[in-house]
Structure 1
Amino acid sequence: MSAAPPADSRWRERADALDAADPLAGLRGEFLLDADPGVVAYLDGNSLGRPLRAAAEAIGDFVSTAWAGRLIRGWSEGWMQWPEVVGDQLGRVVLGAAPGQTVVADSTTVLFYKLARAAVDAAGPGRTEIVTDTDNFPTDRYVLEGIAAERGLTVRWIETDPAAGITVEQVRAAVGPATALATFSHVAYRSGHVADAAAITRAVHDAGAVVLFDLSHSAGSVELELDAWGVDLAVGCTYKYLCGGPGSPAFGYLATRHHGVLQQPVQGWMGHADPFRMGPGYTPAAGARGLVSGTPPILGMVPLRCGLDLVERAGMPAVRAKSLQLTGFVLDVVDDWFAGSGVRVASPRDPAHRGGHVTLARSDFREVTAALWERGVLPDYRDPGGLRIGLAPLSTSFREVHDGLVVLREVLAEGPPRADDRTSAAVGATS
């Protein structure tokens, strides 16, 4: 076993200087950072965001005041409209979406199914193909395979490089008269590659089809302009950069031009035009409200509203600017410290194509990730050999990133970690 390398004060000083100049640095104190003093660096903000102090207070206040105090009256005093109210804020703050097109409900998987199924059901004669890529997030691929089996359709797969992402040229070559739906992740979950959503949307529209984007790794990290890009449909989770908490509800976007045209298949009473009439037959609610099926997840939206308030105060341009600084800092340190160690950067170096996380690759990184967790550094792992460093601009400091990379350097210098059953913990439960 070799000795750990000496500390490099140059990078520590640079990290401290970047923190001192960071216009968002003051917002870090609004997060609950010290619940576990053993955490040296939390580098998994692209899977689960840290909780806000305001969220802890809001949940307690909601239970003791809104829930306990108003009881069933809360539904008629505003809760019933939360899917649209919170959806409109989310659309305004992070999606570039005008009001009336976004709702908060369900999970990403369920909303993805609803929108994808609605799209293929509305497709014209002869449109029998769904186009997606082989490295799209697994839940999206699984849902599409299920829809294809239900509806007698074919999934047309685009082979993509896991270290890159879907390109406009690949999409143009794959879509055509048989395409009913094309769907991709805007930011690739492995590499962090940012797809050209505007150009992909044009390519899909040129083929006469509709496009559905998964924004789970985009919302709250990368600036979005869904309306301006002409996107038809979109979904995403809220527990990453929006800090909604584990299992917080997802969002669905349905462009205005598709209102009254696309009808989602899970016809629940809360998506009815008059839910309390409770009569025979189903009449969908107007607009994006028609995406709702069951009872809105009110408790789950309480911390999400706090997260959206903070993102709105910061502003997405500032969030994106810091995100690029953080990922750029990681790349600079990695190039300096890990040259010749077998560590490969598996994310785009071009800032225009780089999302909010950086993936480093080496064959033993599953075991390395587990060793890092034991030392209080928390990234996550994705096959093949990918250690993802997820950087949440509102809660992550440059010094925190530096300190986490110091521990990674020490672990690699000590030699290959031994594989055991603890490695599974570091894989992570979310995308």
Structure 2
Amino acid sequence: MTTLQDCRALDAQDPLRGLRELFTLPEGVIYLDGNSLGPLPKHAPERIARAVRQEWGEGLIRSWNTAGWFEMPQRLGDRIAPLVGARPGELVATDSTSINLFKVLSAALSIVQADAPQRRTVVSERSNFPTDLYIAESLCRERGFTLHLLEAEQLPEALDEGTAVLMLTHVNYRTGAMHDMAAVTRAAHAAGALVAWDLAHSAGAVEVDLHAAGADFAVGCGYKYLNGGPGAPAFAWVHPRHADRFWQPLAGWWGHAAPFAFHSDYRPAPGIARYLCGTQPVLSMVALDCGLDTVLAAQPLGGMAALRRKSLALTDLFIALVQERCGGHGLGLATPREHARRGSQVCLTRAEGAYAIVQALVARGVIGDFRAGRPDILRFGFTPLYLRFEDAWNAVEHLREVLESGEWQRPEFHRQQVVT
């Protein structure tokens, strides 16, 4: 039986333990959001305030030149690039994940229409994140393609001469199951299809190498494991072999080859810069820059490989503790046990009361989240930058108490919140 002392001993030996000090973490809170919003970097308020007071307040319009505002999408993109196996100049921080997916999927469909017009199907996983499916559905309707949704295990055999694009989220938001990016991409390419990856639950949490996998397109968000703040800018990556082939559909002035020449006709910028659109949200970019500082602080300590080792150790521990301490309470495990198939979250299932159990935990300061489905999901994210092994033990102890006491049955925990 694992004890709290065992967990504290693991924390004492953890080479990443000092990274926790980079964050503002409320006293008495175990933050296991899974992961829809990273915590606040300690230096972000002052850095954002400086941008407001000095760069905006004093520099005014001059700060586009003097404070480096204009270059921020590319500069932040170059900071994100090594976290996902991209190269300098290939990735931009901009817009939202949904908007970026619209851009890259539209570009992918244009390539297919030019090269293999007989291919008319976009394939995706039925349990893909809904916004991805909505964007794909909209584009397919507009462009005359068909969206084909399947279970994960059905995907390899669904790729055929009619497949145009395979669109997948690398780590499933509901289960934490992770695709083998290289193997899936090889299979898609062997069938003649392009692949677009959503890295929202991967970037900053698991090791990703887009070039090694041979990927075609990728998008991801900045507010989860990159700790860029609520609604932080997302990012877009396009393999250089595709980047200059087509306009992306939102041909705004920021993606023009010479935006301040003010030409009346559009001439796309070379490479990934054409995937920009309108004026960038500078204050949000500043916050994302602070979030990237926290992730990149792990580089001298082993980088993403070290973060991944700790993530797996934390999730292994949490799974084992739930089995040891919460047996007999109807909990199942949706997340794969195999390390190669697991993201940085643990998703438990329960036929009854999952939402209320999560709310009871939140009231105790253990912040996870709920995902509706069949069965319902209790989702717990594990960010190795700031979480301790002690936190995993304490979280399971709270879960055990909530289940054994029936505390979750109290009426206030069944009132539906807008955001779950």
Paired position in structure 1 for 2:63: 74
Q: C-alpha distance in 1, partners of 2:42/2:410?
A: 38
Which of 338, 344, 347 is the matching residue for 2:332?
344
- Matched residues, percent identical? 43
TM-score (norm 2): 0.94
Q: Cα deviation per residue 1:260-308 (whole Å; 9 max; x = unaligned)?
A: 1132101111111111122221111111010000011221111221222
How far apart are 1:99 and its partner, in Å? Answer: 1.2
Q: C-alpha distance in 2, partners of 1:295/1:22?
A: 42
Paired position in structure 2 for 1:48: 37
Paired position in structure 1 for 2:370: 381
Paired position in structure 1 for 2:215: 231
Q: 3-state DSSP class of the match of 1:189?
A: coil
1:201-216 equivalences in 2 (<5 Å): 201-216=185-200
Q: Are 1:171 and 1:204, in contact at CA under 8 Å, matched by a contact in 2?
A: no
1:15-164 equivalences in 2 (<5 Å): 15-34=7-26, 37=27, 39-44=28-33, 46-77=35-66, 78-92=68-82, 94-123=83-112, 124-158=116-150, 160=151
How far apart are 1:420 and its partner, in Å? Answer: 5.3
Q: 3-state DSSP class of the match of 1:424?
A: coil
How far apart are 1:203 and its partner, in Å? Answer: 1.0
Q: Are 2:177 and 2:343, in contact at CA under 8 Å, matched by a contact in 1?
A: yes
Q: Cα deviation per residue 1:160-194 (whole Å; 9 max; x = unaligned)?
A: 2xxxxx35xx3331122222211101000011111
> Are residues 1:260 and 2:250 paired?
no
Q: 3-state DSSP class of the match of 1:282?
A: coil
Q: 3-state DSSP class of the match of 2:149?
A: strand
Q: Are 2:219 and 2:236, in contact at CA under 8 Å, matched by a contact in 1?
A: yes
Q: C-alpha distance in 1, partners of 2:313/2:93?
A: 31
Q: 3-state DSSP class of the match of 1:425?
A: coil
Q: C-alpha distance in 2, partners of 1:68/1:196?
A: 48
> Are residues 1:394 and 2:385 paired?
yes
Paired position in structure 1 for 2:158: 174
1:220-369 equivalences in 2 (<5 Å): 220-314=204-298, 315-363=303-351, 364-369=353-358
Q: Cα deviation per residue 1:76-128 (whole Å; 9 max; x = unaligned)?
A: 23211111111011002x11111121001100000011111111122121111
Paired position in structure 1 for 2:394: 403
Q: C-alpha distance in 2, partners of 1:293/1:229?
A: 28
How far apart are 1:426 and its partner, in Å? Answer: 8.2
How far apart are 1:61 and its partner, in Å? Answer: 1.6
Q: C-alpha distance in 1, partners of 2:395/2:415?
A: 18
Q: C-alpha distance in 1, partners of 2:257/2:196?
A: 25
Q: 3-state DSSP class of the match of 2:92?
A: strand
How far apart are 1:139 and its partner, in Å? Answer: 0.3
How far apart are 1:338 and its partner, in Å? Answer: 1.6
How far apart are 1:401 and its partner, in Å? Answer: 2.1
How far apart are 1:427 and its partner, in Å? Answer: 5.0
TM-score (norm 1): 0.91
Q: 3-state DSSP class of the match of 1:389?
A: strand
Unaligned 5+ segments in structure 1 are 1-7, 161-165
